[in-house]
Amino acid sequence: MVALAATLALLGGSLAAAAATASAGSPPLAARTTAQPLPRQAARARASLLRYLKQDQPLANLVNQGGLQPGGRSITAHPAAPSQAATYNWGGYVDSSSPGAFTAVSGSWVQPATFCSPEQRVTAFWVGLDGWTDPTVEQDGTIAYCFEGVPYYYSWWEMFPAGVVFVGSTVRPGDLIKASVTVSGGSNYTLSLTDATRPADSFSTVQSCAPAVCQDSSADWLIERPEFSIGVCPLSTFSDWYLLNGSQTSNGVTGSIGSGPGVTQVSMLDATSTYPLLSTSGLDRQGNEFSARWLNSY
């Protein structure tokens, strides 16, 4: 695995190229707001997003269609290839196994730029444990919120069903983010995020959850659009997301996304199960990197 410092040294040029490619590949919009919001507007945006997320159900909402088996999984032709699954609110990769299998998950990325129309839209980028086939999620990452045509970015963590905790509000496109969740002693969860560009957005917190509640049965590297009882929030338009250095520890062994148990490539579909909202790439040769491109909002 490549350490974060090595990533900065070795991938600086490629990350810059990736950001340029992502921007070029983003669909044109009537409004692309880049001006910094006023403090009063920023406070209103934060309060609005908190109201949204108090109703959020961040568990995987699996789709059963197009040959997918109950639970959202499909039968693959090659045993070494990832399984395929579709949800209405998640896109990326998940490793899954029996309860207690996973004790750590991590990944890093360059924060994508979000392009806003007047419509309010949300996109979260995160790593975490659980949520695939069980009722909790232990997660942290960044989130982009389009509020009245302006993008707002935050760092955050959550021990669902407890609420989201916002930490930093100075995250910006191009920031290098590293996020991780680790379990020790069976019940102590360390949720850490480092914004190497703007350290004020960084955090590390230890939270507790009993093994009977938090089952540690999946490791997740995901893009999410929040889901509520009345529907799913539109996915905000963003430049390409590159997940780097994806790592998990399962059954006492640390490895890549691709070396974990139950590797599943997750597609995000529209509410009618007709078309994808994201295009998610395959894993690289080392099994620890992939990219995702915005296609549609809803």
236 touches 145 (CB < 8 A): yes
Residue bearing tokens 């938090």: 214
Report if residue 77 sits inside a domain.
no
At 43, is the secondary structure helix, strand, or coil? helix
The residue among 209, 56, 214, 62 whose CA lies nearest residue 135 is 214
Report if residue 33 sits inside a domain.
yes
Helices (H) and strands (E) in the chain, counts: 2, 20
Percent above pLDDT 90 for the chain: 73
Report the DSSP beta bridge partners of residue 195. Answer: 177
The 3-state secondary structure of 5-28 reads HHHHHHHHHHHHHHHHHHHHHCCC
292 touches 91 (CB < 8 A): yes
Q: What is the mean pLDDT of residues 17-28?
A: 43
Per residue in 55-85, pLDDT (tens digit) is: 888 899 999 744 333 333 332 323 345 899 9
Task: Give the domain CATH number at 281.
Answer: 2.60.120.700
pTM across the whole model: 0.84
Per residue in 192-225, pLDDT (tens digit) is: 999 999 999 999 999 999 999 999 999 999 999 9
Per residue in 103-135, pLDDT (tens digit) is: 999 999 999 999 999 999 999 999 999 999 999
Report if residue 39 sits inside a domain.
yes
Report if residue 29 sits inside a domain.
yes
Report if residue 155 sits inside a domain.
yes
Report if residue 12 sits inside a domain.
yes
Q: What is the CA radius of gyration of the chain?
A: 18
Total domain count for the chain?
1
Report if residue 201 sits inside a domain.
yes
Per residue in 264-291, pLDDT (tens digit) is: 999 999 989 999 999 999 999 999 999 9
Full domain range(s) for residue 52: 4-72+82-294
Report if residue 256 sits inside a domain.
yes
